Chains A and B, each alone.
Chain A
Amino acid sequence: MKMDRIISMGGRLQKLLADAEVEANKKVSEAQNKADEMIRTARSDAEYRRKRAQRGTGIDELIAEEEKKARKEADKITKEYADKVDDLRNISEEKMNEAQALVLGEVLPHE
């Protein structure tokens, strides 16, 4: 009687393991399918974009992005130049006098 019970339970446990193996295989298989799909989609998107770029179409977004980037850079450059212009306009009196003395010294005759 005891032996029967153990054998019966052994069968149930084997089934449990077999089911687990099926479940595990399913998880791996699903992941593999999902991975294959991800790569397939990435490849097909890439191919689509490449072909459109080759035809010169569909690049509006890229150009708009580049334009936006360039405008941002341009703003920075404009500010840098404006700062330089400010610096130039605010030359110290001392430097102005030095430059003026240099010119005057060259203009006036020497012995």
Chain B
Amino acid sequence: MSNTIEMEAELIQKAVNERNKLIKEAEEKAAKILAAAEAEANRIRTDNENQVLQLVGSDLRTVRDRIIGQVELKGKSDIMAARGIMLERVYDNTRTQLNFIAEGKDPNNDYNEILEKLMKEAVEQIGGDDFIISVNKRDQSYMKSEIGVLSFKLGVKLRLSNELIDVIGGIKCTSASGDKIYYNTLDGRLEHVRRIKEAEIATKLGVI
């Protein structure tokens, strides 16, 4: 009797195991099918997204370029403005210092020597031996008293013009015939430096 029961129990267990195995395999297969379908659907969506982006890409680029372009432009313009302000500050400070020098207030720079050098340079650039010199109001009296000495030092004939030039300092040198003029003023030299040395000055400032 007990053998029969054992045999029955064994048969039932085998059948139940077989059933569970069938169901489990089916569930696994179903999960795989769904996962594959999900992946395929995602691929379709991604491909489609790319297709749509290609189709409307130029519209989207236009939107982006408009917005980014505007801020880039403004940003660059702000940078240029700030750079300009800082460079201007350098020139302003230099102008102030040149005024200080021209007024004879800078112990490190003798303005009379500077004036003499500017004159020598001008005379050499024009060439010849007879020149008319114009200076600003402040330098006029000094030049009146020193023009003879300077003529002697430079080995040329210098005459002081009554014409006053509106500059920080320096001279306007004209050939006696009037056909050649050389402006060797501090103001002009500053402008010249500003034109040709801006990149170097900006580098020095670290604003390039």
Contacts and interface: CB of A to CB of B under 8 A. Distances in A.
Interface stretch (B47-55, B131-139, B144-152, B155-163): B47-55
A34 B32 CA distance: 12
Contacts of B59: 56, 59, 63
Contacts of A96: 86, 89-90, 93, 205
Contact of A89 (B27, B67, B85, B190): B85
B180 interface: no
Given A50-B55, A103-B197, A66 B41 contact: no
Interface in A1-34: 2, 5-6, 9-10, 13, 16-17, 20-21, 23-25, 27-28, 30-32, 34
B204 A43 contact: no
Contacts of A111: 117
A41 B186 CA distance: 81
Interface string A61-90: 011001101110110011011101100110
B interface, size bucket: 35 or more
B19 A20 contact: yes
Contacts of A38: 34, 37-38, 40-41
SS class, residues of chain B in contact with chain A: helix
Interface string A81-106: 11011001101000110111011101
B11 A13 contact: yes
Contacts of A70: 63-64, 67-68
B127 to A, nearest CB: 18
B141 interface: no
B109 A108 contact: yes
Contacts of B118: 109
A16 B72 CA distance: 75
A107 B67 contact: no
Contacts of B90: 96, 99-100, 103
A77 to B, nearest CB: 5
